[in-house]
Structures are given as C-alpha cells and as structure tokens.
C-alpha cells in the first residue's frame, strides 16, 4: 500500500503514479540496459517534480524512487533468519571435475543427457530480497547460510533493485537471491576519491561492495554505486516456476538484472564450452568474476538430486585459476599521482601473468611495505588482481646480499617539496604548488569561480595550455599573452583577448579567495574565510605553526597541520612571491569586517546544516550565517541547532527528525533571524 501523510487530489495522485512509473523505467534503461532514453538533466527535472508533488500531497507510492535514500542511520543490524538456507556451492577446478559432476547427476537421475544452465560467478556479496505481494519488505545478507543481517535500508539505495513488482503474475511471496557487486570503473573511481581524501584504499571491488552493504548509514551506501545480479530463489508462494531458464525470463520481465550471458546448455559439453568462452573474455568484462556456476535447469530434477549438509547436489561452481607468477623485485621507487599521493611501486623482473607481461606493481602505501617486509631483491608472487591490476601477494624469500630496507621518502620525487603524512594516516602526500603531476588540477582549481574566478580557463583550456608547453608552473598563468593563446588550436583572437582580460582581472583578489585557490588540503571556503579573519595578509602565514592555527576556534588539528606544512615549504612561498611580482594584489576585507566590534553576531553559538535546493545560492546563505557568527556544518548531530531544508532534501532531513533537531524552511529561517 502507498504511504499517506495527508490529503491529495486524484489528478495529482495520477500524476505522481505516472512519474513513478516513468522514472523507474528510466532507471531500468540506464542502470540495467545501459540504454537511457532521456538525458540526465531531464531525469533530474522529473525527479525534482516528483519529490515536490509527494511533499505537497503526502502521497508516496511504495515503488517511488524517492524512497531509495533518506532513512536515518541505524545503531546496528538486526538478525535475519532465512526461511530456506542459503547454501554454498561445491568448488571444482578442472574440466575433468566438471565431467565427474555431470556423471554423478546423470547416474542419480538415470538419464543420458541433462539440461544445465551456466552463468558467470560474480565476485560479490550474496543477498536475499523478500517481496510480499509485490513490495520489497526485507533484504538480508547470506551470513552463515541460516541467519544473516537485515540490510533493507541499504539495499533500497541500489537503483537496479526494484522496490515493487507489478503485473499479472505477482506472487504472494517470493525470495529472490542475488549478488551485490561493483563494476571495475566504479571501484576505481571510489578508490581515487578515497585516495584524495587520505583514506585507506579497498583491495578489490568485492571488499568495497561488502563494506558498503554493511554501512549503518544508507546515505554512505548510496555513494558506492552498487549493482545486483539475480540468479535464484528461496521460498515462493502464488506462482509456479519450473526451471532456471523460466526463472530468468520471469526476472527479466519484472526488470530484475540477471547474469551476463546466461546460457541454457543441452548437455555438459555446451556448459564446458561456455566455461572456456567466459575465461577467454573475462579480463574485458566490466566487473570481476571468479568462475562459472553450472546448475541443473529443471527444478523437479533438483528435488530428486537433493542437497548435502552445506551444498546442493544439483549445482557446482567452476573456479578459474588465479593469474599468478613468480618474479624478483629489482627496486622500489616512489611514484606520485595527480592528487599528490606518493605511492611505492615495485619494479620487477618481467614475468608473464595470465598472458600479460608484468614489470611493475603498486605496493599501495608505505605501511604495506613494512607489513609485508618487502625489500629490493625479494622473490615474490604476483597476481593480476581482478585479472587486471598486478599485485604482490606474498614474499617467498629475501636476498641476503641485497637486504635493503625501503625508506619512506621525505621529499617529493618530482618537485622536491616536502612529503607530508597526516597524523594516523597511511597516505604520504606532496604539498608542492608546482608539482608536475598535480599542476594541471591545481591550476583548474585556482581559476575556479570560488577562487580567482578566471572566466574562460576551464578544464579543456587548461589541458591545451599544458600540452602546448605554455604553462609549466603556477606563475606561468600570469605570464600568458594574446600571442601565446592564438597559437592554440581553435583559439580565436577574441577568445584570447577575453581570457587575458579575465586573468588580469583575477590579479586583484581577496586573501580568502587566494587561500582557497591554493588548494591546501582540508582548506575549503569556510576555512579560508576563517584564516582571513585572523591574519591580515598572506605574508603573516609564512612559517605559521600548527599550534598557532589550532588556537583559532573551529580550526581542526588536521587542517592546522596541513596549512602549517604548506606555508613551511620554501618552494610554495617562492611561488606566491613570484605571483606578486607578476601583479597579484591581495586585499583582506574579511579581517577588518570580522574584527570590527560592531559586527553582527546574532547567530553566535548556533550551528546550522543545509540540505536540499534553496531559493538562494548555498554559498550565499553559508556566508550570511558565518557573517552573523553562526557555524555551518556538513553533517547532522545532536549539537546541530537547526537544519534548513529546501526542496528535495537528502538523508540529513531524516537524521534530523530522528535526533529531534529543529527543521526549518529557508523562509522560516529568514523569519526567525532577519533584522
């Protein structure tokens, strides 16, 4: 049944139902079929309209995409008992074992040929989805096979999981089993984001997916871009399905994702051919698999075959051999990425692993080297993790003659700036403004609207400037001329003049904007304003200590350390001074304004969290609050004074309600705190 929070007209209800149906179809096209029929912008527009209508009327259909995120975080997961145990499968590793499995099946069934199904064995986390009269009522992990954990709130966030089953053949009850996984691309993007944030990296997509499913806050799960493939059932009431092939057809009909290249095989020979085919192409798949599952197709035959204590007799999992090789570590070098993270890389004697010659392997971080005791000259085992990324699995032996400890670098190997490790962190990072791998990203940030606001200097122009060699360090931006720019491809004289004028205009800036533009770690717009409020000029920050910065209210320890490290680096100070000689002037209205005894402090002591779309720019509202002495936080806690909620609020609204935090609209905020 739909949720009701108030009255609604039949016309609006019908409009909501239509929007829900269309948005669910678009989700299916985008996330399952990979064939969207509308743009992202149009989807967002319709989704905002749906949220607005649901908010106005209180009518929320049970399959509304708006229900996917928004539940408050849990304190712990409840236990979930499976009505039918989720058994594991017997692993087999050779084709001879596949044939032996077939022989046992045929002998028990007393038949010459058995129809099987074959599907990829996804490397993920097994779950069970329970639907009652079409509605998703529970999602549980496999656990020990008998009892798992109730992770319904988290599974709702996965856009490929239907929240409601519609149609003529909706069962009274059905338990659908599947695998939660991440694509390789989404996994790489997640690790890149975590690396940039100084967090530990996940070893593989399976670990990342499993960790996401077990997050107590559904909003965190939603950020992981999880997917599901459905391949089996537990209990069923109200419909009859006679085979695995028929089940796959029913699942597809009701928009459940099903295994890639599912095959019905007439005899074990066709199943073995499928195993070879998947093995040949598995490195190119967008997700990781570690084998192929072979099952007897007809359910009645499965009942005759029965089950052992922990595994069915009618299915087996063929496991691919790991792509491994033995080699020797020639040396270990530091390598720097575009976010400034300095990673140890093992240079190896070339070795063939899974048909690919491997000559280097990332060692992730310097703590990992110490943990594994990897040294130059070691004999090691290499595995292509996920059949793609080379990884050192373990050390077989040390070379006593080359027993050299690996020393963590103190400076960046690219630019010579100081290498900094955050307190308690595993990531080593270069803080240099002119570090070549970071420079392009740093200048794009420097030119952004909230920083120096160099209109026209976006990503594409920045790439062109770097590729042409016109920009080799930070100060080169202020050295550009019209004659330089017109040499670039597709750069007309007028656009060159406009960019030069924008650069000249940007030379007059404020201290808060300039500090933000430097891209110092943990120093966003708020921190930059805070610093500008306490230091009258950029020179006052040269050599500033973390202890001095930590005396500033609302300045955290990590932020203080990062800022102090940045301004302790002579190369960074030299670059700033060079910018000043090229015409940069930095005013600081924030210092005079904040230190004015007549400043408005009516919001002093109050903490605000902002969520949803507002009638004013969020940055403008944040500045209003801070200018009146208030604090703006990104997360809701018991210390939050007010949550200002606009249209389409996220999970913060639900958390505020759960904690009893006062929630106001923008208009209510204005009425409470206006002059």
Q: Which residues are catalytic?
A: 121
Closest CA to 317 of 288, 290, 297, 294: 294
CB atoms within 10 A of CB 405: 9
Answer whether 120's CB lies under 8 Å from 289's CB.
yes
Rounded to 5 degrees, φ, ψ at 447 are -90, -5
| Residue 629 CB contacts under 8 Å (≥ 6 apart), including other chains | 599, 600, 601, 602, 603, 604, 605
DSSP state of 375: -
- CB hemisphere CA count around 146 (13 angstroms): 2
Residue 222: exposure state from Cβ atoms within 10 A (0-12, 13-18, ≥19):
buried
Q: Which helix (DSSP H) or strand (DSSP E) does residue 293 occupy?
A: strand 289-296
Q: Which phi-psi region, left, alpha or beta, contains residue 12 (left: φ > 0; alpha: ψ -120 to 50)? A: alpha
Rounded Cα gap, residues 501 and 45, in angstroms: 36
Rounded Cα gap, residues 501 and 480, in angstroms: 11
DSSP helix/strand/coil, 198: coil
The alpha-carbon radius of gyration of the chain (Å, integer) is 30
Rounded Cα gap, residues 53 and 553, in angstroms: 42
User: Strand ranges (DSSP E) for 363-450?
Assistant: 379-385, 389-397, 419-421, 428-430
Rounded Cα gap, residues 330 and 632, in angstroms: 51
| Residue 554 CB contacts under 8 Å (≥ 6 apart), including other chains | 530, 631
Rounded Cα gap, residues 84 and 197, in angstroms: 42
Place of tokens 């006679």: 242
CB atoms within 10 A of CB 392: 22
Give CA angle at 359 (357, 360), nearest 5°. Answer: 130
How do strand 135-141 and strand 508-510 relate by DSSP bridges? unpaired
DSSP helix/strand/coil, 3: strand
How do strand 125-132 and strand 173-181 relate by DSSP bridges? antiparallel
- Helices within 282-333 (DSSP H only): 299-305
Answer whether 344's CB lies under 8 Å from 365's CB.
yes
| Residue 157 CB contacts under 8 Å (≥ 6 apart), including other chains | 68, 69, 218, 219, 221, 222, 226
Residue 437: exposure state from Cβ atoms within 10 A (0-12, 13-18, ≥19):
middle
Rounded to 5 degrees, φ, ψ at 617 are -60, 135
- Helices within 4-151 (DSSP H only): 10-31, 40-57, 95-109
Rounded Cα gap, residues 506 and 585, in angstroms: 9
Answer whether 562's CB lies under 8 Å from 545's CB.
no
């Amino acid at each position: 049944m739909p949720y009701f929070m108030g009255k609604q007209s039949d016309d609006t209800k019908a409009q909501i139902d239509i929007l829900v149906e269309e948005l669910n179809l678009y989700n299916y096209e985008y996330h399952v079929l990979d064939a969207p029929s509308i743009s992202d912008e149009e989807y967002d527009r319709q989704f905002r309209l749906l949220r607005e209508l649901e908010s106005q009327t209180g009518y929320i259909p049970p399959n509304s995409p708006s229900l996917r995120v928004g539940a408050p975080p849990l304190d712990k997961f409840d236990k979930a008992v499976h009505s039918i145990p989720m058994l594991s499968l017997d692993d087999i590793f050779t084709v001879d074992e596949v044939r032996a499995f077939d022989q046992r099946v045929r002998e028990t069934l007393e038949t010459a040929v058995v129809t099987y199904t074959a599907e990829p064995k996804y490397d993920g986390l097994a779950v069970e989805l329970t639907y009652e009269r079409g509605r998703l009522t529970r999602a549980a992990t496999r656990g020990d096979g008998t009892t798992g954990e109730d992770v319904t709130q988290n599974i709702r966030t996965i856009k490929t999981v239907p929240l409601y089953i519609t149609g003529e053949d909706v069962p009274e009850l059905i338990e659908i089993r599947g695998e939660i996984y991440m694509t390789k691309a989404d996994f790489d993007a997640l690790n890149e984001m975590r690396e940039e944030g100084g967090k530990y990296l996940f070893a593989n997509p399976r670990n990342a997916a499993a960790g996401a499913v077990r997050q107590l806050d559904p909003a965190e799960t939603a950020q992981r871009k999880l997917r599901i493939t459905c391949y089996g059932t537990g209990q069923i009431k109200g419909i009859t399905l006679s085979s695995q092939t028929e089940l796959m057809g029913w699942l597809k009909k009701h928009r459940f994702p099903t295994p890639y290249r599912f095959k019905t095989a007439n005899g074990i020979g066709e199943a073995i051919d499928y195993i070879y085919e998947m093995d040949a192409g598995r490195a190119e798949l967008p997700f990781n698999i570690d084998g192929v599952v072979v099952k007897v197709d007809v359910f009645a035959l499965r009942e005759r075959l029965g089950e052992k204590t922990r595994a069915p007799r009618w299915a087996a999992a063929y496991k691919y051999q790991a792509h491994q090789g033995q080699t020797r570590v020639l040396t270990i070098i530091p390598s720097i990425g575009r976010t400034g993270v300095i990673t140890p890389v093992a240079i190896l004697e070339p070795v063939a692993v899974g048909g690919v010659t491997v000559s280097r392997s990332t060692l992730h971080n310097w703590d990992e080297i110490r943990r594994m005791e990897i040294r130059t000259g070691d004999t090691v085992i290499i595995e292509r993790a996920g059949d793609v990324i080379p990884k050192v699995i373990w050390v077989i032996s040390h070379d006593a003659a080359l027993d050299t400890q690996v020393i963590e670098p103190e400076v960046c190997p690219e630019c010579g700036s100081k290498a900094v490790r955050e307190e308690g962190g595993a990531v080593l990072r270069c803080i240099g403004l002119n570090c070549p791998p970071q420079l392009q990203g740093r200048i794009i940030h420097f030119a952004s609207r909230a920083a120096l606001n160099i209109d026209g200097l976006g990503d594409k122009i920045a790439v062109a400037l770097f590729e042409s060699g016109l920009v080799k360090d930070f100060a080169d931006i202020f050295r550009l001329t019209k004659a330089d720019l017109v040499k670039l491809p597709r750069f007309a004289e007028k656009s060159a003049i406009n960019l030069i004028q924008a650069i000249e205009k940007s030379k007059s800036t404020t201290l808060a904007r300039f500090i933000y533009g430097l891209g110092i770690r943990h120093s966003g717009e708020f921190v930059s304003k805070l610093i500008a409020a306490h230091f009258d000029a950029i020179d006052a920050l040269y050599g500033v200590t973390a202890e001095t910065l930590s005396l500033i209210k609302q300045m955290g320890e990590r932020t203080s350390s990062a800022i102090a490290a940045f301004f302790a680096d002579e190369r960074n100070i030299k670059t700033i001074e060079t910018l000043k000689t090229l015409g940069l002037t930095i005013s600081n209205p924030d210092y005079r304004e904040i230190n004015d005894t007549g400043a408005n402090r009516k919001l002093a002591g109050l903490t605000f969290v902002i969520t949803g779309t507002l009638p004013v720019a969020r940055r403008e509202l944040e500045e209003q609050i801070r200018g009146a002495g208030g604090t703006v936080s990104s997360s809701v806690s018991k210390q939050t004074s007010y949550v200002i909620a606009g249209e389409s609020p996220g999970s913060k609204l639900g958390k505020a309600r759960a904690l009893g935090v006062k929630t106001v609209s923008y208009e209510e905020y204005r009425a409470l705190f206006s002059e």
